[in-house]
C-alpha cells in the first residue's frame, strides 16, 4: 500500500506534463501516499461498480437516506445509470448500512484497485487515457478525449477494469472511503512505515479520504495509490461534491456453509 519515492516522482512528472504543469510543485503533492508499506487484510467483498443514481434513490424512497443534493432533473447528474454524486460522507455511509454493507476502508479500496501485484493503475502499470473517464489539470478541468466530458454511466470502461472485474476504480467519480484523512505536517507522508493488519486510519479528524480520481482529474490522479480528502464541515457537508460518489464493501466470513446448509 502507498507509493515509493520513484512512484511519487513518476506522479510528479505526470502532473508537470499537464497544461497547468508549472503549478504542480506549488499546489500539488503526492507525498501523502508515502511510505510504501505492507498491509494484510481479512476477507471482504466490494461492489463491482460505483453506486448509481437509481440505486441510491431506492434508499431515499425507503426513508433510510437523505436525497442527493443535485437539482432534480439536472441532466449532468440526475440520470439513473450515472454514479450518484452530491452526497456527503454520512449519506454514503447510510446507504451502505441500508444495503447490508459498509464503506470500504482506504486499505481495502486500494487493494481492490491494485491487487496483490500492486498495479499502478487498476488495469496494469501503464497509463492509458482511453481506459477511464478522466479530466485534466488545466483551465478546463474536463477532457472529452475519453468519450465523456462529464460523468459516464457506471461501468462504461470495461477494458479499464481490474483483473478481478472491478470497474471505475480510476476516474468517473472519486469515492468516499471510511477513513479519516491524515498527513504529517513536516514530512508530508500519510502512512506509518510499519506493516499493518486491517488498518482503519486515525480515530478522528475533520477530513475523510477520497480515492480514485474523477472526471475532473488528470493522469496522475488516476493512479491507484492516489489519495485526496474532503472536509466534513462547510459546503461539502451541506451539498456534497459534483465529482464524488462511493461504492460499498462488506465483511466476508472465512467459514463456509455446509453443503445443503
Q: Tell me whether residue 258 is in a domain.
A: no
Q: Tell me whether residue 9 is in a domain.
A: yes
Query: What span, in angstroms and rounded, lies between the C-alpha atoms of 81 and 171?
Result: 16
Total domains present in the chain? 1
Backbone angles phi, psi at 102, to 5 degrees: -160, 165
Q: Is the dihedral of CA 69, 71, 75, 81 positive or negative?
A: positive
Predicted pLDDT of residue 261: 36
Predicted pLDDT of residue 186: 87
CB 64 within 8 A of CB 98: yes
Q: Tell me whether residue 44 is in a domain.
A: yes
Q: Tell me whether residue 246 is in a domain.
A: yes
Query: What span, in angstroms and rounded, lies between the C-alpha atoms of 40 and 198?
Result: 6
Predicted pLDDT of residue 16: 97
Output b/e per residue, 22-49; b: 16+ Cβ within 10 A. Answer: eebeeebebbbbbbbeebebeebebbbb
Q: Tell me whether residue 256 is in a domain.
A: no
CB 154 within 8 A of CB 235: no
CB 45 within 8 A of CB 250: yes
Q: Tell me whether residue 13 is in a domain.
A: yes
Query: What span, in angstroms and rounded, lies between the C-alpha atoms of 257 and 261?
Result: 6
Give pLDDT < 50 ranges for the chain: 256-261
Predicted pLDDT of residue 105: 98
Cell of 261: 446448509
Predicted pLDDT of residue 93: 97
Residue 46 maps to which CATH number? Answer: 3.90.1580.10
Predicted pLDDT of residue 14: 96
Using the structure block, give the residue that is written with the C-alpha cell 498491509: 39
pTM of the model as a whole: 0.94
Query: What span, in angstroms and rounded, lies between the C-alpha atoms of 181 and 190?
Result: 8
Backbone region of residue 260 per phi and psi (left: phi > 0; alpha: psi in -120 to 50; beta: other values):
left
Q: Please choose, from the candidates 162, 159, 158, 172, the residue with its C-alpha nearest in 3D space to the C-alpha of residue 217.
A: 172
Backbone angles phi, psi at 180, to 5 degrees: -70, 150
Range of the domain at 137: 5-251
Q: Tell me whether residue 160 is in a domain.
A: yes
CA distances from 226 to 63, 88, 119, 169, 207 (A): 34, 20, 12, 11, 16
Q: Please choose, from the candidates 228, 240, 218, 243, the residue with its C-alpha nearest in 3D space to the C-alpha of residue 21.
A: 218
Strand partners, 245: 175
Query: What span, in angstroms and rounded, lies between the C-alpha atoms of 80 and 10?
Result: 37
Predicted pLDDT of residue 206: 87
Q: Tell me whether residue 130 is in a domain.
A: yes
Q: Which helix (H) or strand (E) holds 228?
A: strand 227-231
Amino acid at each position: 500500500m502507498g507509493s515509493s519515492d520513484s512512484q511519487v516522482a513518476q506522479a510528479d512528472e505526470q502532473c508537470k506534463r499537464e497544461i497547468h504543469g508549472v503549478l504542480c510543485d506549488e499546489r500539488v503533492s503526492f507525498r501523502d501516499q508515502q511510505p510504501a508499506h505492507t498491509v494484510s487484510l481479512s476477507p471482504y467483498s466490494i461492489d463491482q461498480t460505483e453506486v448509481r443514481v437509481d440505486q441510491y434513490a431506492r434508499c431515499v424512497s425507503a426513508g433510510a437516506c437523505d436525497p442527493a443534493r443535485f437539482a432534480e432533473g439536472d441532466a449532468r447528474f440526475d440520470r439513473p445509470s450515472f454514479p450518484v454524486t452530491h452526497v456527503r460522507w454520512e449519506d454514503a455511509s447510510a446507504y451502505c448500512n441500508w444495503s447490508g454493507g459498509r464503506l470500504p476502508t482506504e486499505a481495502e479500496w486500494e487493494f481492490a484497485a491494485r491487487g496483490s501485484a500492486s498495479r499502478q493503475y487498476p488495469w496494469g502499470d501503464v497509463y492509458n487515457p482511453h481506459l477511464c473517464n478522466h479530466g485534466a489539470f488545466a483551465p478546463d478541468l474536463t477532457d472529452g478525449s475519453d468519450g465523456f466530458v462529464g460523468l459516464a454511466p457506471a461501468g462504461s470502461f470495461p477494458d479499464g477494469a481490474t483483473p478481478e472485474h472491478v470497474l471505475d476504480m480510476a476516474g468517473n467519480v472519486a469515492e468516499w472511503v471510511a477513513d479519516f484523512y491524515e498527513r504529517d505536517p513536516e514530512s508530508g507522508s500519510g502512512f506509518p512505515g510499519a506493516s499493518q493488519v486491517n488498518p482503519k486510519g486515525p480515530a478522528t479528524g475533520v477530513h475523510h479520504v477520497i480515492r480514485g480520481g474523477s472526471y475532473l482529474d488528470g493522469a496522475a490522479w488516476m493512479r491507484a495509490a492516489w489519495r485526496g480528502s474532503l472536509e466534513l464541515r462547510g459546503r461539502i457537508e451541506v451539498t456534497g461534491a459534483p465529482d464524488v460518489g462511493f461504492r460499498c464493501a462488506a465483511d466476508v466470513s472465512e467459514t463456509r456453509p455446509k453443503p445443503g446448509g
